[in-house]
Structure 1
Amino acid sequence: MVQKYQSPVRVYKHPFELVMAAYERRFPTCHLIPMFVASDVVNEETSEDGSTIRVERRCALDVDAPRLLKRIAGVDYVYFIQKNTLNRKERTLHIESHNETFSNRVIIHETCCYSVHPENEDWTCFEQSASLDIKSFFGFESTVEKIAMKQYASSIKKGKEIIEFYLRELEDDGITHMPRWSPFSCSLSIPSILFSSLTDKLDADYIKRYLGDLTPLQESCLIRLRKWLQETHKGKIPKDEHILRFLRARDFNMDKAREILCQSLTWRKQHQVDYLLETWSSPQVLQDYYTGGWHHHDRDGRPLYILRLGQMDTKGLVRALGEESLLRHVLSINEEGLRRCEENTKVFGRPISCWTCLVDLEGLNMRHLWRPGVKALLRIIEVVEANYPETLGRLLILRAPRVFPVLWTLVSPFIDENTRKKFLIYAGNDYQGPGGLVDYIDKEIIPDFLGGECMCEVPEGGLVPKSMYRTPEELENEDVRLWTETIYQSASIFKGAPHELLIEIIDASSVITWDFDVCKGDVVFNIYHSKRAPQPPRKDPLGTHGITSPGGNNVQLIDKSWTLGQDYSMVESPLTCKEGESVQGSHITRWPGFYILQWKFYNMPACSATNLPRVDDVLATLQVSSHKCKVMYYTEVLGSEDFSSKDFLLSRFAQSSNTSYSSTIIVLPDKTIKIPFLLRSSVQKP
């Protein structure tokens, strides 16, 4: 006889997407269900548009049955097959389960459904039903039926408590909202040293190869934090290795790790740190007098960096370069360290996420305790600790002199406790004996100045000539320039005085790409095309263009006598951009000629009825300082030869849609190129 069971409809006063996030936390095991021993994903499929996900799991249950019955049946666990179909577009989850164990004697079939409440779209309904058909079970049919009824009743009662438990856990993690699915919410990210493709799945081989040993809890924290970044962070998502560093730095506390990681991502964007290795060139004084450099690797395969701090003229470097230049140099060292770790991971076939630093203090004396130099050192430590956690695997301090405790007292409070545990300090020549340097570095690569046979190319340093010192005013200007001199240009925009950029296109089907941040005010972004080149702006204040440059970095190209539709045409719909937004996009050119990118002051609709004459408008612009916007922008043109017809159609489709996109990667036979589609995100203002 077939027994059928139907649970009452349960209602969660939470949106469907949040309930799904809580439901996913039940896997692969759930401590709230002791009988739920394990689960393995045996198959997973995702539709082309990402709206439908099908997952098949094999679950092991430790059924609460008498020992005698288990012995007769010859099993310890009962295995079930569970098939989930998540339709993110329709906002439904259908679950079907059936038993794999004893399927020829007992047939258990269960169906569950999560769906949106018919009267409140911010609530979620849950329905559950099951059937039990016992054909034969060694004469224990009645006992098995009672056990099945007991287990099912228990699961019905426990189910709601479990979801509510994980909903509270999400709230404790700071997750109170999950975005709804949209057709283009599963875009690809831009790969680089720190950034990789978005994937929710971590298999055992990948973890072992690239991340190392992780407990289930640590793996869960990594997946949850990465998933949160994918759904909330507007921009590039760091690689798992980088996210893991921040989790380890905060002992896998999700809230703390998320906070410092987001702060670091904002900092990287503001100061263009992702481009540092490409744009930073060390001044000659650093090349000659900075006593540090990379030197092979340690016994664990970690990149080895050597710093002869005792030979460095810290006062001379600070006086010749300034704090910011030294900081930039140290950041470039850290970026290079990340790159070398990635290379060594491939070379040694195991995860290498940090490096070893060897600091030789021979020659350290009181001149190194010069107050401005110590101040610069403390600031460098602060920035590195905040943005490169868990990148230092070991710090070997050799030949520490008597003055070292004074320096240590000054800097140690600024060093994270976990980092301090990685310090090994040797006084005098103690590093040469047992437990010394040879325990961490192969004898063949110990530098010659430490008694080894390997020639080390690290500069010997010496005193920086005073003729190279700069005045305080020069140092201040240099420090400002270093943090603003990037691949991005800045422009001021005034009411009545837009900023315009001219791009000449020779071949049709070329791609103009742009990336700009609205630092102040609101702007309207336009793209125009003209068959003839605009005349260069006149420098007289009332020349061809009426006005030229209320600010030194404002350029106007479109002549006031030009008529839209005759002399030039608009090729993209105007885009209104608010203060603090970051906008990336691309345009595939249909014709050769001259394209003008324009950033224009955004007039509030309430003010649109006021039509001042052009001269009055100009005077108002010059007199009212609040009528000023500022943008930082970067543009690039990709040639038509880089694209196939398929890529062209893909890009055109992205342009014609009103939906936000992130970048996509197109791989050609001999190169990989990036096409950034329209993407809008909030960023912290510089």
Structure 2
Amino acid sequence: ASHGTVHPDNEDWTCFEQSASLDIKSFFGFESTVEKIAMKQYTSNIKKGKEIIEYYLKQLEEEGITFVPRWTPPVACKSESSTSHTRRPVSPAINIPDSATKEGLNNKEILNTSSSPSEPTAGTPDDKLDADYIKRYLGDLTPMQESCLIRLRQWLQETHKGKIPKDEHILRFLRARDFNIDKAREILCQSLTWRKQHQVDYILDTWNPPQVLQDYYAGGWHHHDKDGRPLYVLRLGQMDTKGLVRALGEEALLRYVLSINEEGLRRCEENTKVFGRPISSWTCLVDLEGLNMRHLWRPGVKALLRIIEVVEANYPETLGRLLILRAPRVFPVLWTLVSPFIDDNTRKKFLIYAGNDYQGPGGLLDYIDKEIIPDFLGGECMCEVPEGGLVPKSLYRTAEELENEDIKLWTETIYQSASVFKGAPHEVLIQIVDASSVITWDFDVCKGDIVFNIFHSKRAPQPPKKDSLGAHSITSPGGNNVQLIDKVWQLGRDYSMVESPLICKEGESVQGSHVTRWPGFYILQWKFHSMPACATTNLPRVDDVLASLQVSSHKCKVMYYTEVIGSEDFRGSMTSLESSHSGFSQLSAATTSSSQSHSSSMISR
């Protein structure tokens, strides 16, 4: 079906619209393919329709007809919408006065500009003025895409009360759903509601980031890439993500990331004017030099996943390219955790470089001019991005302050609590079927000093007996204490140590990983750390009550989380990325097949 209507903002223009409906029944699983073929056919039909209209306009011009009086229906009708005309009919697109294009007005101003009959419109035929605007501000669009943009914007103007986004941003939502107008409308409406609820439109003018963010968040804007896209630099490896979450909570971090995205939209608009071509996305350069297991602190990763989810939902198609530089060995573990939350289209824009690969062919110089490569990457341009560093513990918020925050909920749901006593360590059993799996751990020493060990055994430990806890069950009603290693087992014969013992002081947080060499049973052990000289050995015998009190004075508390990542996930974590230089599939294979196990442990003090 096709029809012409008077343009809502200018009576002297006609909009020609064409629509078609397609109902595909079961087609042996090829419904999506049939739909794509139909869309292709429909697009070519629209193009043909546009050519026919342009042909007749040219014919009129050749005959010297530059003005056709408005058609009047035989029966007089007062309604303005029931009249139409044939002066300057155009294809389905957004029309703007020539002067507005030259002045670079934003789209809302353009659409609200209507020229009165007394004003001169244009001295030359400008049937393609709308196409010039689209090419200049939005990019090359097919007639079908133009039509989708018109219809979605018109629907928003009719139904949405409040601030309507500019055409560039509406287009991002259409692109994110492959121009399926119903799906794009759904996610756009959700986003507009979200923006209103959180007052996102005013975030740049009304919200001042806390000082700790300004000092320790190692990210900032830095010139632009070779395509004119604004460039954002993030030194993630130098950033204390755990410290920032503990000092600020998740909400302030999320708000800061939103302000960065809003600033990105503003910079895209500016660069569109500066470079004279549409720039709708930005480039992000992430330097991972310094990344280690400290960055895998679970609440920090949870905060990161929520931020990714919010950004994906409300700023689709805004990331033009993501350059990940100096990715260390621990990166595949982080990628395994984060990648399922990233949209497939976004993932295709990732380029990952291990070590100094970024300096070679296909590296950074392909995307960024030599003059602006930051000094910390070997360039000559001073980069004003903060260097990050550890957030002082004095800035951490207390448990009471975080009582109603998500962090406390994560601690309760993700972490398990364990009590460790002198002579009664806490042990966790992990059964490994595939060699080369990765065991990861993350724990906080809440009270006392402990020694952390990881052991391997071919034999399955016996399940703990209920009476083995003895008096300890009385002194630790809220804590869990399990012993798995049999008293008769001998180290070196029945089980072996696969990592060096790690002494952890009260208040420390430890994250680490171990690439397993053999299948079998692995035991993580938290053991009471005895002082070299212990005065308790000289104490006389006391009754049971005093003994239990004595034991409780040697009680330590640990909050821990552990996870096993399969060898396939670990090795193949890079394969889904379209990367010109990524040595991770080889690197991970080398790591897991080497004769010596590799681990990475980090204490965040």
How far has the Cα of 1:85 moved from its partner? 6.0
Match of 1:93 among 50, 65, 82: 82
Match of 1:25 among 4, 17, 20: 17
Distance in 1 separating the partners of 2:377 and 2:325:
9
Distance in 2 separating the partners of 1:274 and 1:97:
40
Asked whether 1:425 is paired with 2:417, we answer no
CA distance 1:92–1:281, shift in 2 (3 Å): closer
Structure 2: which amino acid aligns with 1:394?
A: R
Contact between 1:37 and 1:60, CA under 8 Å: does it hold in 2? Answer: no
Asked whether 1:38 is paired with 2:52, we answer yes
Question: For residues 631-681 of structure 1, what are the alpha-carbon distances to aligned partners after superposition, in whole Å with 9 as ceiling and x for unaligned?
Answer: xxxxxxxxxxxxxxxxxxxxxxxxxxxxxxxxxxxxxxxxxxxxxxxxxxx
Match of 2:234 among 307, 311, 315: 307
Contact between 1:313 and 1:462, CA under 8 Å: does it hold in 2? Answer: yes
Asked whether 1:256 is paired with 2:183, we answer yes
CA distance 1:288–1:91, shift in 2 (3 Å): closer
Match of 2:396 among 449, 460, 469: 469
Contact between 1:59 and 1:80, CA under 8 Å: does it hold in 2? Answer: no
Distance in 2 separating the partners of 1:85 and 1:26:
23
How far has the Cα of 1:208 moved from its partner? 1.7
Asked whether 1:394 is paired with 2:386, we answer no
Structure 1: which amino acid aligns with 2:376?
A: F
Q: Which residue of 1 aligns with 2:603?
A: none
Contact between 2:43 and 2:143, CA under 8 Å: does it hold in 1? Answer: no
Aligned residue runs from structure 1 range 19-418, under 5 A:
24-26=16-18, 31=45, 37-40=51-54, 58=57, 83-84=70-71, 90=79, 93-94=82-83, 196=109, 198=111, 203-418=130-345
Question: For residues 602-627 of structure 1, what are the alpha-carbon distances to aligned partners after superposition, in whole Å with 9 as ceiling and x for unaligned?
Answer: xxxxxxxxxxxxxxxxxxxxxxxxxx
CA distance 1:461–1:23, shift in 2 (3 Å): closer
Contact between 1:303 and 1:337, CA under 8 Å: does it hold in 2? Answer: yes
Distance in 1 separating the partners of 2:248 and 2:54:
58
Contact between 2:321 and 2:349, CA under 8 Å: does it hold in 1? Answer: yes
How far has the Cα of 1:26 moved from its partner? 3.7
**TM (normalized to structure 1)?**
0.45
Structure 2: which amino acid aligns with 1:270?
A: Q
Structure 1: which amino acid aligns with 2:57?
A: R
Structure 2: which amino acid aligns with 1:93?
A: S
Contact between 1:196 and 1:237, CA under 8 Å: does it hold in 2? Answer: no
Q: Which residue of 1 aligns with 2:591?
A: none
Contact between 1:29 and 1:39, CA under 8 Å: does it hold in 2? Answer: no
Distance in 2 separating the partners of 1:476 and 1:311:
29
How far has the Cα of 1:326 moved from its partner? 0.1
Aligned residue runs from structure 1 range 505-544, under 5 A:
none
CA distance 1:29–1:245, shift in 2 (3 Å): closer
Secondary structure of the residue aligned to 1:393 is: strand
Contact between 1:198 and 1:230, CA under 8 Å: does it hold in 2? Answer: no
Structure 2: which amino acid aligns with 1:430?
A: D
How far has the Cα of 1:59 moved from its partner? 7.7
Distance in 1 separating the partners of 2:15 and 2:270:
38
CA distance 1:91–1:318, shift in 2 (3 Å): same
Secondary structure of the residue aligned to 2:290 is: coil
Contact between 1:222 and 1:244, CA under 8 Å: does it hold in 2? Answer: yes
Q: Which residue of 2 aligns with 1:70?
A: none
Contact between 2:327 and 2:352, CA under 8 Å: does it hold in 1? Answer: yes
Structure 2: which amino acid aligns with 1:300?
A: D
When structure 1 is superposed on structure 2, of 230-239 and 80-89 the one drifting more is 80-89
Distance in 2 separating the partners of 1:310 and 1:88:
70
Distance in 2 separating the partners of 1:192 and 1:342:
11
Structure 1: which amino acid aligns with 2:301?
A: V
Distance in 2 separating the partners of 1:421 and 1:33:
30
RMSD: 3.9
CA distance 1:219–1:366, shift in 2 (3 Å): same
Structure 2: which amino acid aligns with 1:58?
A: L
Secondary structure of the residue aligned to 1:343 is: helix
Match of 1:445 among 372, 380, 383: 372
Secondary structure of the residue aligned to 1:305 is: strand
Structure 1: which amino acid aligns with 2:138?
A: L
Q: Which residue of 1 aligns with 2:595?
A: none
Secondary structure of the residue aligned to 2:147 is: helix
Structure 1: which amino acid aligns with 2:270?
A: E
Question: For residues 359-379 of structure 1, what are the alpha-carbon distances to aligned partners after superposition, in whole Å with 9 as ceiling and x for unaligned?
Answer: 001111111010000000000
Contact between 1:246 and 1:390, CA under 8 Å: does it hold in 2? Answer: yes
Secondary structure of the residue aligned to 2:204 is: helix
Distance in 2 separating the partners of 1:193 and 1:471:
47
Q: Determine what percentage of the aligned residue pairs are the same residue.
A: 79
Question: For residues 10-60 of structure 1, what are the alpha-carbon distances to aligned partners after superposition, in whole Å with 9 as ceiling and x for unaligned?
Answer: xx9xxxx9xxxx99424999939978842259xxxxxxxxxxxxxxx8387
Secondary structure of the residue aligned to 2:401 is: helix
Question: For residues 367-405 of structure 1, what are the alpha-carbon distances to aligned partners after superposition, in whole Å with 9 as ceiling and x for unaligned?
Answer: 101000000000000000011111111000001111111
Contact between 2:46 and 2:144, CA under 8 Å: does it hold in 1? Answer: no
Distance in 2 separating the partners of 1:438 and 1:421:
20
Q: How many matched pairs?
A: 341
Secondary structure of the residue aligned to 2:387 is: coil
Question: For residues 186-241 of structure 1, what are the alpha-carbon distances to aligned partners after superposition, in whole Å with 9 as ceiling and x for unaligned?
Answer: xxxxx998965546997122112111111111111111111111111112221111
Q: Which residue of 1 aligns with 2:35?
A: none
Distance in 2 separating the partners of 1:247 and 1:195:
18
Q: Whose RCO is larger (CA < 8 A, sep 6+)?
A: 2
CA distance 1:202–1:479, shift in 2 (3 Å): farther
How far has the Cα of 1:472 moved from its partner? 3.4
Distance in 1 separating the partners of 2:106 and 2:255:
18
Structure 1: which amino acid aligns with 2:260?
A: I
Distance in 1 separating the partners of 2:366 and 2:251:
36
Distance in 1 separating the partners of 2:67 and 2:51:
12
Question: For residues 258-287 of structure 1, what are the alpha-carbon distances to aligned partners after superposition, in whole Å with 9 as ceiling and x for unaligned?
Answer: 111111111111110011001111111111
Secondary structure of the residue aligned to 1:474 is: coil
Q: Which residue of 2 aligns with 1:604?
A: none
How far has the Cα of 1:461 moved from its partner? 1.0
How far has the Cα of 1:96 moved from its partner? 7.4
How far has the Cα of 1:473 moved from its partner? 3.5
Distance in 1 separating the partners of 2:250 and 2:280:
28
CA distance 1:88–1:403, shift in 2 (3 Å): farther
Question: For residues 313-337 of structure 1, what are the alpha-carbon distances to aligned partners after superposition, in whole Å with 9 as ceiling and x for unaligned?
Answer: 0000000000000000000000111
How far has the Cα of 1:254 moved from its partner? 0.3
CA distance 1:285–1:478, shift in 2 (3 Å): farther
Distance in 2 separating the partners of 1:29 and 1:392:
27
Structure 2: which amino acid aligns with 1:90?
A: S
Question: For residues 395-441 of structure 1, what are the alpha-carbon distances to aligned partners after superposition, in whole Å with 9 as ceiling and x for unaligned?
Answer: 00001111111111111111111111111111110000011000000
Secondary structure of the residue aligned to 1:426 is: strand
Question: For residues 94-142 of structure 1, what are the alpha-carbon distances to aligned partners after superposition, in whole Å with 9 as ceiling and x for unaligned?
Answer: 56789xxxxxxxxxxxxxxxxxxxxxxxxxxxxxxxxxxxxxxxxxxxx
